[in-house]
Amino acid sequence: MSADSTRDEICVVCGKATEGNAGTAHLYHDGRRFALCCPMCVEMFQRAPARFASGEHRQTLVQQMLDEIKWRESGS
């Protein structure tokens, strides 16, 4: 089992398989590597890396963030 393997990785934000995806990025948090499938997912991850890293239910987390973004944008 290799730590460098990128096979069977899934995007930590949206859960899509990242294998063969040209937009795939990897970020490190707390010494662990996380796969992100696209710039939007990278942005999401960067908003709350500790929460994604802690294994919170990602769909709940993403929904909360989207709600927060909408709320901020509509509040001007």
Q: Identify which of residues 13 and 61 has a Cβ nearer to Zn ion in the complex.
A: 13
Q: Is 10 in the site for Zn ion (CB under 5 A)?
A: no
Query: For 5-53, what is the HEC assignment?
Result: CCCCCECCCCCCECCCCCCCEEEEECCEEEEECCHHHHHHHHHCHHHHH
Residues within window 12-71 making contact with Zn ion, judged by CB under 5 A? 13-14, 37, 41
Residue 9 sits at φ, ψ, to 5 deg, of: -80, 145
Q: Determine the Cα–Cα distance for residues 22 and 4; give it in Å rounded to an integer.
A: 17
Residue count at the site for Zn ion (CB under 5 A)? 5
| Nearest-approach distance from CB 48 to Zn ion, in angstroms | 15
| Nearest-approach distance from CB 40 to Zn ion, in angstroms | 7
Q: Identify which of residues 23 and 54 has a Cβ nearer to Zn ion in the complex.
A: 23
